[in-house]
């Protein structure tokens, strides 16, 4: 009995050690994203930047913008890496698709998309997406940052991409609406937008839209209406429903092996 107990304790200790080491490695890997601050008109946007292996200003690289969800808002320049960073860190390690990756952070009082929100309501009444209008302060900063980054001589201007989840999925639909000539492809996850706006980018941006079939935070109808409108406009668009996923459909999305090959295959015409 004593030997069995010792073995059990040893196994638990080994498991704890493995988890501990794994967390340290994950934290160290996230340090590959440098901490950056963008300042314009006396306003500040914090963001993290991942450069490809053996980065050289004499080479050309695609640029990926990723917009986090509401749960990762703040001013620590850390939490925006909770979801999605692993996907790009694994790509960094394999170096299959060398790219510059940008993770801006939206402050707690901000929001990426120009959308009226009523969290006391559920389903389709929770979000009312504006067709365009004035961008939020946070979106305006991201637009200014992207305008600056895409002018760098080492950025492939025909391979600029954007993706995001939840609030960031809404921001993804919004930013391609505001900069339809900037982005070659986009992958909004559990987001939504105003279907009347798609004519601005339907024939300019390729989209792969993801949503959970039982999402009770952002109703899957919001993605469906966007995809339907895009299809009517003959856009290059794909919809993937994870029928058993709730709001965290980003987990299934990031496990999709074809996502990055699809994304980096797209170029601005």
Query: Averaged over 152-178, what is the pLDDT?
Result: 98
The torsion angles phi and psi of 148, rounded to 5 degrees, stand at -75, -45
Strand partners, 237: 207
User: Does the pLDDT value for residue 15 go beyond 60?
Assistant: no
- The string of pLDDT tens digits covering residues 223-240 is 999 999 999 999 999 999
| Complete edge-to-edge strand list for the sheet that includes strand 61-67 | 34-40, 43-50, 100-104, 61-67, 155-165, 185-189, 206-212, 237-242
Which pLDDT score, from 0 to 100, does residue 16 have? 46
pTM for the model: 0.89
Token duo for residue 152: 């760098």
Identify the residue whose tokens are 């490809």: 52
Domain 34-264: state its class: alpha beta
The reported pLDDT for the residue numbered 22 is 39
Nearest to 75, CA basis, from 111, 107, 39 = 107
- Give tens-digit pLDDT for 66-97: 999 999 999 999 999 999 999 999 999 999 99
Chain mean position to CA 164: 3
Q: Specify the pLDDT at position 6.
A: 53
Dihedral angle, C-alpha 224, 228, 229, 234, nearest 10 °: 140
Q: pLDDT tens, 46-59?
A: 999 999 999 999 99
What is the model's pLDDT at position 18? 39
Q: Hey, what are 228's tokens?
A: 């339907």
Domain ranges of the chain: 1-30, 34-264
Residue-wise pLDDT tens digits, 118-148: 988 888 889 999 988 899 999 999 999 999 9
Q: What is the mean pLDDT of the chain?
A: 91
Place of tokens 């459909």: 249
DSSP label of 267: -
Would the pLDDT of 12 be above 70? no
Alpha-carbon span 157 to 93, nearest angstrom: 24
**C-alpha to C-alpha distance for 175 and 132, rounded to whole angstroms:** 10
Q: How far separated are the first and last CA of the chain, in Å rounded?
A: 70
Q: What are phi and psi of 73, to 5 degrees?
A: -65, 155
């Amino acid at each position: 009995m004593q030997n069995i107990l010792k073995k059990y304790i040893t196994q638990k200790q080994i498991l704890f050690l493995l988890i501990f080491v794994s967390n340290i490695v994950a934290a160290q890997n996230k340090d590959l994203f440098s901490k950056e601050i963008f300042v314009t008109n006396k306003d500040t946007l914090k963001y993290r930047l991942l450069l490809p292996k053996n980065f050289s200003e004499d080479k050309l690289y695609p640029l990926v913008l990723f917009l986090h969800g509401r749960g990762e808002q703040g001013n620590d320049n850390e939490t925006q890496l909770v979801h999605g960073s692993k996907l790009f860190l694994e790509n960094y390690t394999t170096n299959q698709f060398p790219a510059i990756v940008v993770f801006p952070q939206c402050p707690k009082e901000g929001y990426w998309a120009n959308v009226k929100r009523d969290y006391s309501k559920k389903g389709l009444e929770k979000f009312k997406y504006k067709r365009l209008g004035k961008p939020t302060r946070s979106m305006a900063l991201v637009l200014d940052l992207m305008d600056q980054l895409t002018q760098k001589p080492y950025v492939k201007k025909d391979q600029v991409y954007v993706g995001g989840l939840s609030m960031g999925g809404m921001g993804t639909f919004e930013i391609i609406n505001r900069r339809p000539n900037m982005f070659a492809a986009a992958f909004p996850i559990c987001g939504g937008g105003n279907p009347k706006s798609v004519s601005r980018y339907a024939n300019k941006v390729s989209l792969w839209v993801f949503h959970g079939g039982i999402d009770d935070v952002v109703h899957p109808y919001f993605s469906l209406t966007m995809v339907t409108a895009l299809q009517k406009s003959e856009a290059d668009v794909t919809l993937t429903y994870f029928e058993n996923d709730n709001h965290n459909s980003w987990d299934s999305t990031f496990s999709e092996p074809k996502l990055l090959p699809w994304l980096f295959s797209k170029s601005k015409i």
